[in-house]
Amino acid sequence: MEKMPSAYEYPDYFAPYVNLVPQGDRIQILRDQMKETVSLLSTITDSESEYRYAEGKWSVKEVIGHLIDTERVMSYRALCIARGEKVSLPGYDEKEYGANADFDKQSLKDLLDHFACVRQSTIHLVKSLSEESLSRRGIANNSEITPRALISVIAGHELHHRNIVQERYLNL
């Protein structure tokens, strides 16, 4: 799957994520990202992963948990729309999800393993979708979107948060 989504395939508020994703095979990009993110975050300790760069900000563990939750939601939306779902899919409140998840009580290793499993599941889903199903339009969070766009949102969302972790948490 190499085709970039067109701007009409997703709402404007997803453009910053979609625009972060380079041209190329989306499946390979998702694979490479998983390896890069796990490799980067495996270099820190469990206690370092509980660091917050400012009051009220998520810890690194909570960022990983947010990536997991968001990827699950976006992949579910992609699956539903690809399969022809006509019902409007609900939004979700990432702050509420994070507040109820207890990510800081989990080990960094468990969170990274969880992230890798979710990413592998996303990759298998993407590999199974035809060009026709990737182009289907559905409604999620009151906005029209395609599975192709959702896959780019997943990749761009991860890049966005990895960049923040590198700049604000790891000072890279």
Residue 152: which CATH number?
Answer: 1.20.120.450
Check if the beta carbon of residue 45 is closer than 8 Å to that of residue 119. no
Confidence of residue 7 (pLDDT cuts 50, 70, 90): very high
Amino acid 74 reads M
Q: What pLDDT score does 28 carry?
A: 96
pLDDT confidence of residue 156: 97
Q: How far apart are CA 81 and CA 75, in angstroms?
A: 10
Instruction: Please give the pLDDT value at position 23.
Output: 92
- The pLDDT, as a whole number, for residue 172 is 60
Q: Is residue 2 part of a domain?
A: no
Mean pLDDT of 70-94: 97
Per DSSP, the residues of 136-150 read: --EEETTEEE-HHHH
DSSP type of residue 10: S
Higher pLDDT, 2 or 144: 144
pLDDT tens for each residue of 108-154 = 999 999 999 999 999 999 999 999 999 999 999 999 999 999 999 99
- Across 158-165, average pLDDT: 96
Whether 71 is in a domain gets the answer yes
* Residues 6+ positions from 145 with CB-CB distance below 8 Å: 9, 10, 11, 14, 77, 81, 137, 138, 139
User: What average pLDDT does the chain have?
Assistant: 95
Please indicate, yes or no, if residue 82 is contained in any of the structural domains. yes
Confidence of residue 171 (pLDDT cuts 50, 70, 90): confident
Q: How far apart are CA 148 and CA 25, in angstroms?
A: 12
CA proximity to 41, closest of 114, 132, 126: 114
Alpha-carbon distances, residue 146 vs 25, 109, 149 (angstroms): 17, 33, 5
Chain mean position to CA 41: 16
Within 13 Å, how many C-alpha atoms sit on residue 71's CB side?
Answer: 28
Task: Pick the closest to residue 119 from 9, 4, 30 (CA basis).
Answer: 30
Kindly state whether residue 157 falls inside one of the protein's structural domains.
Answer: yes
Does residue 35 lie within any of the structural domains?
yes
In a domain, 1, yes or no: no
For residue 167, pLDDT beyond 90: yes
Q: Name the residue range of residue 122's domain.
A: 7-169
Q: Where does the pLDDT of residue 1 fall: very low under 50, low under 70, confident under 90, or very high at 90 and above?
A: low
Number of folded domains that form the chain = 1
Q: Is the pLDDT of residue 34 over 90?
A: yes
Q: Does the pLDDT at position 40 exceed 80? A: yes
